[in-house]
Amino acid sequence: MKKIDEYQGKKVLVMGFGISGINAAHLLVKLGANVTANDKATPKNNDIVEDLEADGIKVITGDNPISLANKGFDVVVKNPGIPYDNPLVAAFVKQGTPIITEAELGWQIFDGYLVSVTGSNGKTTTTTLTQLMIAENAKHQVKYAGNIGISFSKIAEGLGPDDTLVTELSSFQLLGAPTIHPHIAIITNIFSNHLDYHKTRENYINAKLNITRNQTKDDFLVINWDRDEWQKIAQRSQATIVPFSRLNKSHEGSYVEDGMIYWRGQEVMPTKDIRLIGPQNVENALAAIAAAKLSGVTNDAIKKVLTTFSGVRHRLQYVMEYQERLFYNDSKSTDIEATEVALQGFDRPVILLAGGLDRGYTFERLVPYFKKHVKAMIVFGECKDKMKDAGNQAGVPVIESENAITAVPEAWKLSEPGDVILLSPANASWDQFPSFEVRGDKFIEAVEELTGKKEQ
């Protein structure tokens, strides 16, 4: 951990009691700050409050009182999910109080080799693969953290100048990380996500590009080269561009040609040997390979990881096989693009479980994928009627169910040996579940109850 003194004696407000907020509050105390922690909700577990108060932190819960804007705070550390139009946040913006996220705080105390990953889809898998590959050849610590569910600042506290940290960073985190400077930045792809938060696609793209804002020609931006738009976005970076591509051969980076993965013209391994299924995971592997090779990782280490790693939980996760049916949990597919790529990963008939929060869009884009890959659909949630319409357009049998749990036995009734039963909702979970993780866990529990087996 790098020693810094910029918070010594400063008044800091931490907004949000998530994992990152709690860790940030405790870290700021260590850095000499006078800390107030605020959460709009009242925690059900009073241990959180007691733990904060025991560290000398003033705790305010049950509201984001606007009066806090008049308390003379020098800095606000905001939970990434709290929007900037929140009245209290907006008041701090208006008066010019610096607002950062915990990712910025983590960067400020980190003194090692930073690799950071962002993108609309594939962030967590790419982050995990990159960390595993670099760790295979490392003589020092190699950790991952960030939006992957592990506090950036907490992990950074335990690392030194010779260590490596691979961080997954969301657009929300990057908006509040003005000085973050990874040596290697990865952009997996950019679709149109979180427009309810960012308001416009351009705002969303700009937030993602904060990952490379402070890079120089001595740093690297690893970026998906499969769309013209992404190639143009790369031109906005000062870093050395390293492309990865399934579709376009480029000797400057990693690519696929005739079923073989290459790094700068040299063979690495066949795509068929990657244990993860689907074209999106080939892309994730290509991104990780580029970062790993730039970090000095050998081909043998890369092959070891890609032939053994079976997936991140809730991201096209293989659950089990039962009576010749394969169950997959892709609850992280909270948008149309993610479900598109999930369906393309299977050469077996798919019974698709889909639906969730109605964000106002329809699903005509999925019709060609339904026609090609799906034999039946179980739909649920607020948008089930819209999802059903798309299934009907594709000529696919569709039945309705209450949620992702009740859909499991319905899917089983429709299945035959050789089928895939896939939860890939194409929608957020918040109409019925607090998170996609809970939705995926409940799906797995329903599969275990149906089969009498534990996930593999």
Domain at 252, CATH number: 3.40.1190.10
Which CATH number goes with the domain that contains 33? Answer: 3.40.50.720
The total number of structural domains in the chain stands at 3
The Cα 245–Cα 66 span in angstroms is 48
The H or E element that residue 15 is part of is strand 11-15
Please, which contacts does 305-309 make with residues 24 or more away whose CB atoms are closer than 8 Å? 305/129, 305/132, 305/133, 305/136, 306/129, 306/269, 306/273, 306/274, 306/275, 306/276, 307/269, 307/273, 307/274, 307/275, 308/275, 309/128, 309/129, 309/132, 309/275, 309/276
The Cα 57–Cα 34 span in angstroms is 7
> What phi and psi values does residue 451 have, to the nearest 5 degrees?
-95, -20
Q: Who's near 182: CB < 8 A, 6+ residues apart?
A: 114, 115, 116, 167, 211, 215, 219
CA angle in degrees (0–180, nearest 5) for 248-252-253: 70
Same domain, 201 and 299: yes
pLDDT at 132 over 90: yes
The Cα 281–Cα 123 span in angstroms is 11
Specify the pLDDT at position 284: 96
pLDDT at 51 over 90: yes
pLDDT at 250 over 90: no
Of 264, 291, 308, at which residue does a domain stop?
Answer: 308
pLDDT at 406 over 80: yes
**Tens of pLDDT, residues 179-222:** 999 999 999 999 877 778 888 999 999 999 999 999 999 999 99
Residue 115 pLDDT class (50, 70, 90 cuts): very high
The Cα 388–Cα 97 span in angstroms is 48
292 φ/ψ sector (left φ>0, alpha ψ -120 to 50, else beta): alpha
Torsion of CA 118, 122, 124, 126, to 10 degrees: -80
Expressed as residue numbers, the domain containing 343 is: 317-451
Which has the closest alpha carbon to 156: 334, 37, 3? 3
The tokens for 218 are: 């001595």
Same domain, 21 and 118: no
Of 248, 280, 308, at which residue does a domain stop?
Answer: 308
Same domain, 223 and 264: yes
pLDDT at 251 over 90: no
**Tens of pLDDT, residues 336-359:** 988 998 999 898 999 999 999 998
Same domain, 149 and 226: yes
Same domain, 113 and 230: yes
Which whole number is the average pLDDT over 305-324? 91
**Tens of pLDDT, residues 220-244:** 999 999 999 999 999 999 999 999 9
**Tens of pLDDT, residues 87-96:** 999 999 999 9
pLDDT at 442 over 90: yes
Same domain, 303 and 327: no
Note whether 211 and 118 are within 8 A (CB). yes
Q: Does 212 fall in a domain?
A: yes
Task: Give Cα separations from 189 to 118, 205, 234, 283 (angstroms).
Answer: 8, 10, 11, 9
Which whole number is the average pLDDT over 16-35? 96
7 φ/ψ sector (left φ>0, alpha ψ -120 to 50, else beta): alpha
Half-sphere exposure of 36 (CA within 13 A, CB side): 17
Q: Who's near 314: CB < 8 A, 6+ residues apart?
A: 329, 330, 331, 332, 436, 437, 440
The H or E element that residue 113 is part of is strand 113-118
* Residue 28 C-alpha from the chain's centroid: 26
The Cα 455–Cα 451 span in angstroms is 10
The H or E element that residue 153 is part of is helix 152-157
Q: Does 2 fall in a domain?
A: no
Residue 43 pLDDT class (50, 70, 90 cuts): confident
Of 77, 100, 123, at which residue does a domain stop?
Answer: 100
Single-letter amino acid code for the residue at 290: A
Specify the pLDDT at position 44: 80
Strands across the sheet containing 420-423: 317-322, 325-329, 420-423, 350-355, 374-380, 398-400
Helix intervals (H) in 253-357: 279-294, 299-308, 336-344
Q: Does 4 fall in a domain?
A: no
Task: Give Cα separations from 348 to 245, 390, 417, 420 (angstroms).
Answer: 25, 21, 10, 7
Q: Where are any strands of DSSP class E within 177-335?
A: 184-187, 220-224, 240-245, 254-257, 260-263, 266-270, 317-322, 325-329
